[in-house]
Chains A and B, each alone.
Chain A
């Protein structure tokens, strides 16, 4: 007790500086967590979070029995798994390729250029996609000129959605995601390479036996974080990209929550869907972290 009083006396100003942030997180992050209780209620704007009547597990049952439950879960998980399989390694591969470049000038130029798409807004990226991938757009012009393909309305075909979502994601983020892997490579002890060379290891063997193991902790941490995000795919991008024709492959938990909650104002039901998402995601994160802790000793906490 005395310690607390003394600490407060000495650090008054520090607590003053921390207070806006603490208030901010309490209100805008813990506030919504408190508000999650409406998932078990029938929320009414007049009665508020606390005053609305209880509904039990009604909304959760409704979601699990929903005709679209399977479709939404399948789409969400597939998009996540595909991006883990294709987008995640893309950054690692680019980092490894850049690491083999001797010319600093060339390396820096490639980096600057490949970072660029990361800074373009999603609205513009998806806008350009709509333009290039239209029936009479650039891509169809090229495909028909080069291979004689029939024009396809790519953005209006459910079959193309996943490919376009993942592909454009790689285009936009490959450079940016390579930064962190390059940073990991930079921390590898150079004497390990010297030792490998003395043992007669080729460049390829050095990459395989020194570089990749050196990157492993970073890769594992990012993998854990990605698993925690398994149900949280890029809702904002999908909202821009999809339309009712492509819901079959494009509608995910986040976009469904948005339509139910914000557009149809079915707040409690949408909050239940959101809560289901948050709880599963958090559990996956904890599981991934504890598995990694046992297997590799690399951990988030």
Chain B
């Protein structure tokens, strides 16, 4: 196809704009990555952008990994991510299966009940008091049960399950399979892309969550990584990590410790999402159309 001069000029400008946008999206984290490997003394003297680490040391990472409160928080986060996502997927997929069947009398009523909560909710205070009344405050369950199902994700799953051909379900039924069996061995295997997306959505939201932990937890031994990260990054409290460093070096290394913590808290997720890209594009689309 032939392009006019104007169209060719547009193509060039467009590519430049998109490259700049990509750099803008990428660079902040690249800076943090370079800074985390830099020599703290050289880093404080640096002015402006980093195109490579200044010097090279993994000292900051050693300090982070040796720090007991970060270690505990990391393990806590892993627990919340795995246990929380397991509960999310189990409950959402059972409900999505039920809501994707035809000829279920209460289906629409239940669906309405669920969708309504997306547009109207009781608010943070009654929810907080309820969690307290149920005796969940300051327990790991407070981060798992109150968010057990996301209505939005449930709808995405239901829509995907509806796409499974009826004939497969019927032939399984003729072979004597019940609903649990059909859900597990017919619908699930045929919906793996959407399950993968749900694992990503639920998993990421547990990994990144900090607010529920802040209001529901007091005991530092239960804190997830994001809450500790908030203390280090925003309340500027690297003091507890520096006890082993002589006082003169404290300021600069405090800085690289911050960067190293950001990296270890962010990299795991950034390694996962590109592989699921082609699936979540579909997931978002379904959710938007039906939501």
Interface set of A (CB-CB < 8 Å, partner B): 3-4, 7-8, 10-11, 13-15, 17-18, 20-22, 24-25, 27-36, 38, 43, 45, 48-49, 94, 97-98, 100-101, 106, 108-117, 119-124, 126-128, 130-132, 138, 141-142, 145, 171, 174-175, 179-180, 182-183, 202-203, 218, 221-222, 228, 236, 239-240, 254, 257-258, 261-262, 267, 270-271, 274-275, 277-278, 281-282, 285
- B15, B151, B211: the one contacting A236 at CB < 8 Å is B211
Given contacts A3-B105, A120-B29, A271-B123, contact A17 B95 (CB under 8 A): yes
> How far in angstroms is the closest Cβ of chain B from A267?
6
- B266 & A124 in contact (Cβ 8 Å cutoff): yes
User: B196 on the interface (CB 8 Å rule)?
Assistant: no
Interface-forming stretch among B56-64, B78-86, B164-172, B277-285?
Answer: B277-285
CA gap between A176 and B22 in the complex, in Å:
13
CA gap between A32 and B208 in the complex, in Å:
24
- B17, B18, B262: the one contacting A124 at CB < 8 Å is B262
- Residue among A31, A122, A202, A275 facing the most chain B CB atoms (10 A cut-off): A31
- A15 & B208 in contact (Cβ 8 Å cutoff): no
> How far in angstroms is the closest Cβ of chain A from B104?
5
User: B204 on the interface (CB 8 Å rule)?
Assistant: yes
Inter-chain pairs besides A48-B133, A114-B22, A262-B128, 10 sampled, C-beta below 8 Å: A13-B178, A14-B97, A15-B98, A17-B94, A49-B126, A124-B265, A128-B262, A131-B233, A257-B124, A261-B124
- B123 & A32 in contact (Cβ 8 Å cutoff): yes
Q: Which residues of B contact A113 (CB under 8 A)?
A: 22, 25-26
> How far in angstroms is the closest Cβ of chain A from B40?
14
Interface string of B1-41 (1 = CB under 8 A from A): 00010110011001101110110111011011000000000
Q: Which residues of A contact B126 (CB under 8 A)?
A: 31-36, 38, 49, 271, 274
User: B154 on the interface (CB 8 Å rule)?
Assistant: yes
User: B248 on the interface (CB 8 Å rule)?
Assistant: no
A271 — nearest CB in chain B belongs to which residue?
A: B125
- Residue among B32, B98, B110, B132 facing the most chain A CB atoms (10 A cut-off): B98
- B114, B123, B129, B274: the one contacting A277 at CB < 8 Å is B123
- B110 & A126 in contact (Cβ 8 Å cutoff): no
Given contacts A126-B234, A180-B284, contact A25 B117 (CB under 8 A): yes
Interface set of B (CB-CB < 8 Å, partner A): 4, 6-7, 10-11, 14-15, 17-19, 21-22, 24-26, 28-29, 31-32, 47-49, 91-92, 94-95, 97-99, 101, 103-106, 110, 113-114, 117, 119-130, 132-133, 145-146, 148-149, 151, 154, 178-180, 183, 204, 207-208, 210-211, 215, 226, 229-230, 232-234, 236, 258, 262, 265-266, 269-270, 273-274, 277, 280-281, 284-285, 288
- A22 & B25 in contact (Cβ 8 Å cutoff): no
- B124 & A24 in contact (Cβ 8 Å cutoff): no
- B288 & A18 in contact (Cβ 8 Å cutoff): no
- A24, A49, A236: the one contacting B148 at CB < 8 Å is A24
Which 5 residue pairs are nearest across A and B when measured between Cβ atoms?
A32-B122, A127-B233, A35-B126, A274-B123, A21-B95
B227 — nearest CB in chain A belongs to which residue?
A: A123
- A18, A121, A183: the one contacting B284 at CB < 8 Å is A183
A243 — nearest CB in chain B belongs to which residue?
A: B234
- A114 & B148 in contact (Cβ 8 Å cutoff): no
Q: Which residues of B contact A15 (CB under 8 A)?
A: 98, 106
A229 — nearest CB in chain B belongs to which residue?
A: B119
CA gap between A179 and B282 in the complex, in Å:
9
- A29 & B117 in contact (Cβ 8 Å cutoff): yes
Number of A-B contacts (CB under 8 A): 264
CA gap between A34 and B111 in the complex, in Å:
20
> Could you list 21 A-B pairs, sorted by A, with CB under 8 Å?
A7-B103, A8-B105, A18-B95, A28-B127, A31-B122, A35-B129, A36-B122, A36-B123, A106-B15, A111-B277, A121-B207, A122-B208, A128-B262, A132-B28, A180-B284, A236-B211, A254-B124, A261-B125, A262-B125, A262-B215, A274-B124
CA gap between A84 and B9 in the complex, in Å:
30
Q: Is the interface of B mostly helix, strand, loop or mixed?
A: helix
- B233 & A124 in contact (Cβ 8 Å cutoff): yes
Q: Which residues of A contact B146 (CB under 8 A)?
A: 28
Q: Which residues of A contact B154 (CB under 8 A)?
A: 21
B226 — nearest CB in chain A belongs to which residue?
A: A123
- B22 & A119 in contact (Cβ 8 Å cutoff): no
CA gap between A139 and B146 in the complex, in Å:
40
- B129 & A119 in contact (Cβ 8 Å cutoff): no
CA gap between A15 and B204 in the complex, in Å:
30
CA gap between A88 and B154 in the complex, in Å:
25
> How far in angstroms is the closest Cβ of chain A from B185?
14
CA gap between A138 and B179 in the complex, in Å:
58
Given contacts A14-B179, A142-B48, contact A180 B122 (CB under 8 A): no
B205 — nearest CB in chain A belongs to which residue?
A: A121
> How far in angstroms is the closest Cβ of chain B from A221?
7
- A14 & B14 in contact (Cβ 8 Å cutoff): no
B127 — nearest CB in chain A belongs to which residue?
A: A32
Given contacts A14-B101, A21-B114, contact A35 B10 (CB under 8 A): no
> How far in angstroms is the closest Cβ of chain A from B168?
17
Q: Which residues of B contact A282 (CB under 8 A)?
A: 119-120
- B94 & A21 in contact (Cβ 8 Å cutoff): yes
Q: Which residues of B contact A142 (CB under 8 A)?
A: 48-49
- A123 & B127 in contact (Cβ 8 Å cutoff): no
- B22 & A109 in contact (Cβ 8 Å cutoff): yes
